[in-house]
Amino acid sequence: MIKKHLIKKFSTKVILAICIGILIPTSFISVFYFISSSNIVKENVRESSLQTAVQAAESLSFTFSVGSDMSDLLYSNKQLQNIVKMDEDPQLTRMDKEKNNDELKAFLNSQIFSSSFVRILYILKDEGTSWGSGTFSPVKLGRYHLDDFDWIQESKKKDGELVWRGLQYDLFSGAGENTELVLPVTRVMKDFNTMRNIAYIQVNLDGKTILNKIEQLKLGKTGHFFVVNDKGQIMIDSNMDKINKTVDNPDLYKNIRNKNTDEFEFKNNDELYYGVKQPLTNGWSLVGIVPIEEITGELTRLQQITIFTSILFTLFAMVFGFFAANKVTKPITALTEQMRQVGKGNFKVRSEFYSNDEIGLMSAQFNQMTKQVDQLMEQVIEEQSLKTEAELRAIKHRINPHFLFNTLSTIRWLVQFKQTDKANKALSALSRLLEASMGKNGTFITLHQELEIIERFLVILQIRYDQTFDLQLIIETGTERFVIPRMLIQPIVENAVFHGLVPTGKSGTISIKASTLNNGVKIEVHDNGIGMQKDRLDQIRPKGETKNSFLGIGLNHVYDSVRLYFSPASTVTIKSGDHGTLVTLELFPKDGGGQHV
């Protein structure tokens, strides 16, 4: 009871109205601010991530360039070629051979000292002497056959081009199991005179330095970077178990192989990830991935601020509404009591509240209203009687018993002749037409609902007369919600079929056009039938009495409905000629009616 009483109070409604008036724009502004800020945060994160990837890719590419440049230097050095070729000469003295070995090793060591990124250099041969910088161990090399390494076979196939391999531990240097983490790049060394392969050049970049560069890159809290080759195999990663293995996430693999994108999103274990990708100079790609939630963490705080602001504005609206409502409701309460007296039949009561504001105007209008109530009561009773008559005629017109009998008879013959598809179609349309005609939703329906009834009505008539009645609807947006009395347009369509199209014995077209007209709606129903003669047109007048079902009940219902439920400015006009009949309804709501009757 208390809840219902509060809802009925005007002051409560004023507070609610003010709250809604403040909350709606506040909510829109908050949502707009949140969305805009979210986009800015995401864009900043995206640009920052891309910039990080670009800078890291440039740094790695520079390191790789050092390796390729060093390989080019060794490959093009004729003195090195001569020493390697002389090693094959059986007439070379031991002293000369040792001198060559010392000279070559010194050269390799000097190149190591001149570069901070190159860790180890090798000149390897299948047979004979091999050379290396630093702690190169021929003993360790002797444990392997070079032809067993895939990078040797690929170097032969590429015939002088560089062959890059993933991060690994060096096999040929150091004492015992002490090995260096390196990134090797290999190629064959050629005799430029005969272009035959005489050795293999391998430049080993410092793996720890490269890995440190990768690990120092930040992408969220748990995001990380790694390097893949053009086949999607991982070449550099802080997890050595992943080296030389293909990326196992199909979605990520697809995005890595796609050369047309440098950022992407993918799912991993039902969690959405963000990824960036940048190409490297050796054909590989630097890839960074991170859960999207980690790089958009600022949005949570932003969301909390938005909610807090909305709550604060709600409290402000309630306080402001309380004071505003109290100022307004005091005179209204007194006027309400006087209205109760009028409700009990005391039309002599007068308001004694006078002011220049809206409340004073309402009080004056109340006093004037009580003087006119008796006259208005009589007018209302008369109009209600006329409306009741119109509704009764509408009920009679909804389903003509003769039409129902003929339709059921048609369905019976369709079933008897085993035309079950047509029978089902007719029965379904009749069922929906009967349901619509029952008027469960009252006297008034929307223009859209009226058109649905007409469509079902025409389905039945097409089956019954074995003619095609094409219904063309040209409905301007917004007019379909205009409210009209039930069965306002259907009698016009029925007349068009029975008296315009059926007599032709062939297919016909009925077009219904609805358009806005100032504050109302203009409805035009046109058929391309035989039209009506002048004497028939003369019969069509409001209150015209005739035995014709349409001209009697049907059109009278149209005229009365327009006269009773719409503004006096509303009209019904009929034009007919050799090319059919046009019925035009111009409907304007009564004052204050809006789109509704």
Tens-digit pLDDT profile for residues 8-52: 566 676 667 766 766 677 666 666 655 666 566 566 667 878 888
Pair 345, 46: CB distance under 8 Å: no
Q: Which residues pair with 575 in a beta bridge?
A: 582
**pLDDT above 50 for 592:** no
Is the backbone of residue 190 left (phi > 0), alpha (psi -120 to 50) or beta? beta
3-class SS shares of the chain: helix, strand, coil, % to 5: 55, 20, 25
Q: What is the DSSP letter of 127?
A: S
**pLDDT above 60 for 596:** no
**Band of the pLDDT at 430, cuts 50, 70, 90?**
confident
First to last CA, the chain: 34
Q: How far is CA 530 from the centre of its chain?
A: 51
Cα gap 541→537, rounded to integer Å: 8
Q: What is the predicted pLDDT for the residue at 6?
A: 46
Longest Cα–Cα distance of the chain, Å, equals 142
The beta-strand segments (E) located in 486-544 are 508-517, 520-527
Q: What is the predicted pLDDT for the residue at 401?
A: 65
Percentage of residues of the chain with pLDDT beyond 70: 78
pLDDT average, residue stretch 430-442 = 70
Pair 264, 275: CB distance under 8 Å: yes
**Band of the pLDDT at 142, cuts 50, 70, 90?**
confident
Out of 244-248, 309-313, 439-443, 519-523, pick the least confident: 439-443
pLDDT digits (tens, 9 = 90+) for 495-554: 888 888 888 888 899 999 999 998 899 999 999 988 877 776 666 655 444 444 444 456
pLDDT average, residue stretch 54-65 = 92
Pair 107, 134: CB distance under 8 Å: no
**pLDDT above 50 for 571:** yes
pLDDT digits (tens, 9 = 90+) for 157-188: 999 999 999 999 999 988 777 688 999 999 99
Mean pLDDT, the chain, integer: 81
* Sequential DSSP letters for 239-254: SGGGTT-B---HHHHH
Q: What is the DSSP letter of 275?
A: E
Q: Which two tokens stand for residue 79?
A: 């003195």
Sequence spans of domains, the chain:
76-210, 379-587
Amino acid letter for position 114: S
Q: Which residues in 209-228 are b (16+ Cβ under 10 Å) and which e?
A: ebbebbeebebbeebbbbbb
Q: Give the pTM.
A: 0.49
Q: Which residues pair with 184 in a beta bridge?
A: 204
Element (H, E) at 469: strand 469-475
Q: What is the predicted pLDDT for the residue at 23?
A: 66
Cα gap 317→309, rounded to integer Å: 12
pLDDT average, residue stretch 354-383 = 71
pLDDT average, residue stretch 348-353 = 67
CATH architecture of 76-210: 2-Layer Sandwich (3.30)
Q: Which CATH number fits domain 379-587: 3.90.1580.10, 3.30.450.40, 3.30.565.10, 3.90.870.10?
A: 3.30.565.10
Out of 49-58, 114-123, 398-407, 461-470, pick the least confident: 398-407
